[in-house]
């Protein structure tokens, strides 16, 4: 594979990462430089989960090629290894065309797997073990799975989002097979790579998250959630994406609309806190505050430096 220059745009949810990636790619393409966006969001891979995952619409993509979106249905399994395989094919095409790849999202493991070169094939896997773990977590909940993981493999548990059922189940699978051994060392990326991070003050971020929650409900999240529940089992891991449980609670009359929006925002605020903890461990990230100024000029400088390297 000819690895293209790679600009990673990372950070907590609702900080403007997708908008920056699209604006940068659009600007580069207008100047005659090929640039494509790869979404690194573990929920945007699912078809039909659009509003609740803040997936950019075709109009919002403004003609910029996007990858990593709408890859499987919510009832189909999808792992970080699947994501790496998908991205590898896209990077090969982008590299052959002499373009820039922009990897953007808040799923830290996806970003790290591509930009740091995690050896996903070296991670143990056993479908029978996984099925057993997922059945127990469906019955007893993610908290019980997290407690089991913490007891069985405390070092591995310290690196996992213990409120994410997919992450907990996968970590338990690894722990059941090989114990609490260290994960494989990153192999690196085969081309030039830079990391750019977006983050803002917690108080401002809370406001941005709350405004987005209102906007998603206004845009039709309740109807989207209703349609998805008519087709799929709401217990599927895909629907741990924030917003769907809240919309279903409203549809079932358990809470009113404002309470659903407030619960959505509260969960996303907690999610952002966990994302910050994850990204704190990433080295060589240049952090920008999008509330203090437009990050596009600096992103453009980094993109040009990568293309010239």
Domain membership of residue 186 (yes or no) is no
Indicate the pTM of the whole model: 0.88
Q: Are residues 166 and 213 in the same domain?
A: no
Which class for 252: exposed (0-12), middle (13-18), buried (19 or more C-beta within 10 A)? exposed
Q: Are residues 54 and 197 in the same domain?
A: yes
Domain membership of residue 183 (yes or no) is no
Please spell the DSSP secondary structure of 241-274, one letter per residue: STTHHHHHHHHTTSS-HHHHHHHHHHHHHHHHHH
For range 194-215, the mean pLDDT: 98
Residue matched to tokens 């996806």: 110
Of 105, 125, 233, whose CA–CA distance to 170 is shortest? 125
Q: What is the chain's percent helix, strand, coil content, to nearest 5?
A: 55, 10, 35
Q: Are residues 115 and 237 in the same domain?
A: yes
Q: Are residues 232 and 110 in the same domain?
A: yes
Highest mean pLDDT: which of 48-62, 118-132, 155-169? 48-62
Write the secondary structure of 150-217 as one string of H (helix), E (strand) and C (coil). HHHCHHHHCCCCCCCHHHHHHHHHHHHHHCCCCCCCCCCCCCCEEEEEECCCHHHHHHHHHHHHHHHH
Parent domain of 142: 124-178
Q: Are residues 171 and 214 in the same domain?
A: no
Q: Are residues 79 and 128 in the same domain?
A: no
CATH number of the domain to which 25 belongs: 3.40.50.300
Strand order in the sheet with 6-10: 66-67, 35-39, 100-104, 6-10, 193-198, 285-288
Three-state SS at 61: helix
For range 60-87, the mean pLDDT: 95
Which class for 161: exposed (0-12), middle (13-18), buried (19 or more C-beta within 10 A)? buried
For range 69-92, the mean pLDDT: 94
Q: Is the pLDDT of residue 184 over 80?
A: no
What band does 158 get if pLDDT is binned at 50, 70 and 90? confident
Q: Are residues 220 and 259 in the same domain?
A: yes
Q: Can you read off the two tokens belonging to residue 133?
A: 């773990």
For range 157-179, the mean pLDDT: 85
Pairwise pLDDT comparison (169 vs 302), residue with the higher score:
302
Q: Can you read off the two tokens belonging to residue 260?
A: 């659903």
What band does 295 get if pLDDT is binned at 50, 70 and 90? very high
Q: Are residues 165 and 269 in the same domain?
A: no
What band does 1 get if pLDDT is binned at 50, 70 and 90? low
For range 164-180, the mean pLDDT: 87
N-to-C CA span, the chain: 18
Please give the tally of structural domains in the chain: 2
Q: Are residues 159 and 28 in the same domain?
A: no
CA distance readout (Å), 249 to 18, 89, 143, 164, 234: 29, 40, 20, 19, 12
Three-state SS at 138: helix
Output the pLDDT for position 129.
87
Q: Are residues 218 and 153 in the same domain?
A: no
Output the pLDDT for position 212.
98
């Amino acid at each position: 594979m000819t690895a293209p220059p790679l600009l990673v745009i990372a950070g907590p949810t609702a900080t403007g990462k997708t908008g920056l990636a699209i604006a940068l790619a659009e600007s580069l393409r207008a100047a005659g430089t090929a640039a494509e966006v790869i979404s690194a969001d573990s929920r945007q891979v699912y078809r039909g989960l659009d509003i609740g995952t803040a997936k950019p619409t075709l109009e919002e993509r403004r003609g910029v090629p996007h990858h990593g979106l709408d890859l499987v249905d919510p009832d189909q399994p999808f792992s970080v290894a699947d994501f790496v395989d998908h991205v590898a094919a896209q990077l090969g095409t982008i590299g052959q065309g002499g373009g820039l790849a922009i990897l953007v999202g808040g799923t830290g493991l996806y970003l790290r797997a591509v930009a740091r070169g995690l050896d996903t094939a070296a991670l143990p896997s056993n479908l029978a073990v996984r099925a057993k773990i997922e059945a127990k977590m469906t019955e007893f909940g993610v908290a019980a799975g997290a407690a089991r993981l913490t007891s069985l493999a405390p070092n591995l548990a310290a690196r996992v989002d213990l409120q994410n059922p997919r992450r907990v189940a996968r970590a338990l699978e690894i722990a059941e097979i090989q114990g609490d051994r260290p994960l494989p060392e990153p192999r690196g990326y085969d081309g030039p790579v830079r990391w750019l991070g977006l983050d803002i003050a917690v108080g401002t971020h809370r406001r941005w998250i709350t405004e987005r929650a209102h906007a998603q409900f206004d845009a039709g999240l309740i109807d989207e959630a209703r349609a998805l529940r008519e087709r799929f089992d709401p217990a599927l891991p895909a629907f741990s994406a924030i917003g769907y449980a809240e919309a279903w609670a409203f549809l079932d009359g358990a809470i009113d609309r404002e309470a659903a929006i407030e619960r959505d925002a509260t969960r996303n605020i907690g999610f952002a806190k966990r994302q910050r903890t994850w990204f704190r461990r990433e080295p060589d990230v240049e952090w920008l505050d999008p509330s203090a100024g437009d990050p596009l000029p600096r992103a453009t400088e980094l993109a040009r430096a990568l293309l010239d390297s």
